[in-house]
Structure 1
Amino acid sequence: MATIKDVAKYAGVAISTASAAINRSAPVSDEVIAKVEAAVRAIGYVPHAAAQSLRMGQSRLIGLILPDITNPHFANVARVVESACLEAGYMAAVYSTNEDFDRERQILKMMRAQRVAGLIIIPTRSDAAHGARLAGEIHVPTVLLDSYVNGLPYDVVKLDNVQAGRLATDYLLGLGHRRIAVTTGRDNIVTGEDRLQGYLEAHAALGVPVDPHLQITGKFLQSVAHDNTLTLMRRPEPPTAIFALSNMMMLGVLNALRELKLSVPGDVSVIGIDDFDYANIMNPPPTVVAAPVAEMAQTAIEQLFGEILNKSQPTMAVRQFVPELIVRESCRRI
């Protein structure tokens, strides 16, 4: 296995000079850097990453912290970030919080011990109290994805979730539906709050009253949306349409309706937010409001790389992406 001594000999420089050129730990001319890099390529020298991390105070490691890696939406995020890291010479460490703050904090402590170069976080909560707790755990360039946290001074890449809620609800109202149920998210997560706001704004714009009994808890979980949809549809006046604020809640809704032997969209229309890679083989293929997931993830990692390489401070800028309505077969006119 090639060593730094072999690199120095090949390049015709001192070992200390070769080390400085590789690690950028001391001033070295561009000519010498070129010679050393050519030697590295020629003999196949691989720097010891752990040793470099200790010397430089950080690694070539990017931490990606997601709510649930089994969710297709977040799996797509991970795929984009991993590819971008590999191309840039970084490794991605991907962890799921399972929406649990204590687990999120544990992951952040571990990332700090590993001297990560930067973080992309989809946070477990959005409130200021949570921001105050996280502030002491984050000490590297960080970008928040999908949501923001009050009190954290980081750049944010997110969907226009109010508009997403409006798009879905406007579509159902345009089909003649007036009893539209909605599966809500979890407390203190602004993503669900904004989507619910869009639902309410769409009703208000047309002067259509909202029945509070049609707002059922989903908590972004398939199982919770499933159980509460069963209860909802057994009531004397069930809705004619259901709007799920996330893809996993939509699966829960559809499973519940199947168990009740209710036809979609014959008996009830269903629409959700976030698309599925396998949507076209579902029965029926679901109508959704989709986020440009790959573009959002790519923007987040590019923003993070910029802060790392330029040693720049976050601007607290919010990059907001436009949702898209994808009409398929799970909704009908009444």
Structure 2
Amino acid sequence: MTTIRDVAKAAGVSTATVSAVVNSSAFVSDELRARVVAAIEALEYAPSSAAQSLKRGRSQLIAMVVADLANPFFHRIVCVAEAAVAAWGFSLVVFNSDEKPDAERRIIERVHALGCDGMILVPVGEPSQYRRRRNDAKRMPTLLFGRIVSDDTFDTVTIDNLAAGREVTNYLLDLGHRRIGSITGPLHLTTARERLEGMRQALGARRLSLDPARLRSGEFREDAAYSAALQLLGAPDRPSGLYVANGLMALGVMRALADLGLRCPTDISIVSTDTIPGIGGLRPRLTRTEHPAAEMTNEAVRLLVDRITRNKSAPPRNVIFQPALMVGDSCAPFEAGTPERSGAPLKEAG
């Protein structure tokens, strides 16, 4: 294997000069640089990345821990993040916690063992799990993506989930729907909890409240949402409108509608939150709020690299992106008295 000494001998220079050319760490005349570069190319010399990392005090590795790689949304942000970290001179290492807190804990330990320079984490555990990791965050910069915890330790990049829940619920209310249900994610996660709270805010503004009987958890999973929708929509007093709290669950709900023989929007109007590739191809086209996923990912990488290279002691930065309402064909005005839409109205608040 070619060594730095072989290059130095071939170029007729010292090993220090070769190192200066390779690492751009000191001035080298054009004539000497040309000789070193020619020797490197002739001998096919490849500097040791491990040695370079040791010298810099960094591994040039960024870890990304996502909640569910089967979810096309997370697959998309991984692709964007890979290109973004490469543009900053880093490499991406990807882990999948599969929405399991125990798996996430093991992954975080592995990330630290690898000596990664920083981590982008989509948290899946209870908030107390991350409060215990404050010292870890100080040792290795960590950014929380999409979901936050009740803590001021971490940089965060999120969507305005309250606004997302309000917007789609208001859209149903404006169409005359009052018997509105929801399929949520796990409510210990801020994304699920805040989207549901946004829905409640929209209802409360019109002196309405959500009937608990029309609320189900779909766990942010397609199959779980399918089962929840079979229960909720198979009941005689099913909702006339349904808010599904993410795009992957919306796919499960649409499958359940087909299996129940229900038509959207004739029998039920559906709205959702989230961006997953291909969801725009659903028929009917789904009315939804979308995340600017690429912009969020690029901003997350930028903040983390800045934290790694420049601002390790700066106060936490929290960036909140606004969702965009995309109106499709999955909703219709409520028509009172039709057999398929009969049932008790939402209860009035207080």
CA distance in 1, matches of 2:96, 2:185: 18
C-alpha RMSD over aligned residues:
2.5
Q: Indicate conservation of the 8 Å contact 1:182/1:215, yes or no.
A: yes
Give the letter for the 1:304 counterpart.
L
* SS at structure 2 position matched to 1:172: helix
CA distance in 2, matches of 1:37, 1:160: 54
CA distance in 2, matches of 1:46, 1:90: 18
CA distance in 2, matches of 1:77, 1:283: 25
CA distance in 2, matches of 1:38, 1:92: 34
1:274 maps to what in 2?
A: 274
Q: Indicate conservation of the 8 Å contact 2:162/2:194, yes or no.
A: yes
Structure 1: runs of 5 or more not aligned: none
Summarize deviations over 1:181-206 as a string: whole Å, max 9, x none.
11121132111111111000000111
How many aligned residue pairs are there? 330
- Work out whether 1:29 is the aligned partner of 2:33: no
Q: State the 1:145 CA deviation.
A: 0.8
Q: Aligned runs of 1:317-328 on 2, under 5 Å?
A: 317-328=317-328
Q: Indicate conservation of the 8 Å contact 2:248/2:276, yes or no.
A: no
Q: State the 1:300 CA deviation.
A: 0.3
- Work out whether 1:58 is the aligned partner of 2:29: no
Q: Indicate conservation of the 8 Å contact 1:161/1:195, yes or no.
A: yes
CA distance in 2, matches of 1:34, 1:259: 75
CA distance in 2, matches of 1:36, 1:325: 56
CA distance in 1, matches of 2:267, 2:10: 75
Against the structure 1 CA distance between its residues 332 and 51, is the aligned structure 2 distance closer, same or farther, given a 3 Å change threshold? same
- Work out whether 1:232 is the aligned partner of 2:232: yes
Against the structure 1 CA distance between its residues 202 and 318, is the aligned structure 2 distance closer, same or farther, given a 3 Å change threshold? same
Kindly report structure 1 stretches of 4+ aligned residues shifted beyond 6 Å: 32-35
Summarize deviations over 1:184-232 as a string: whole Å, max 9, x none.
2113211111111100000011112321211111111212211121111
1:130 maps to what in 2?
A: 129
* SS at structure 2 position matched to 1:288: strand
Q: Indicate conservation of the 8 Å contact 2:159/2:291, yes or no.
A: yes
Against the structure 1 CA distance between its residues 207 and 193, is the aligned structure 2 distance closer, same or farther, given a 3 Å change threshold? same
1:195 maps to what in 2?
A: 195
Give the letter for the 1:72 counterpart.
P
Mean Cα deviation higher: 118-127 or 319-328: 118-127
1:90 maps to what in 2?
A: 90
- Work out whether 1:256 is the aligned partner of 2:256: yes
Q: State the 1:53 CA deviation.
A: 3.6
Q: Provide TM-score, normalisation by structure 2.
A: 0.86
Q: Identity of paired residues, percent?
A: 33
Q: State the 1:173 CA deviation.
A: 0.6
Q: State the 1:118 CA deviation.
A: 1.2
Against the structure 1 CA distance between its residues 20 and 311, is the aligned structure 2 distance closer, same or farther, given a 3 Å change threshold? farther
Summarize deviations over 1:228-273 as a string: whole Å, max 9, x none.
2111122231100111111111111111111101001110011111
The structure with the larger Rg is 2
CA distance in 2, matches of 1:165, 1:33: 61
Q: Aligned runs of 1:203-222 on 2, under 5 Å?
A: 203-222=203-222
2:46 maps to what in 1?
A: 46
* SS at structure 2 position matched to 1:254: helix
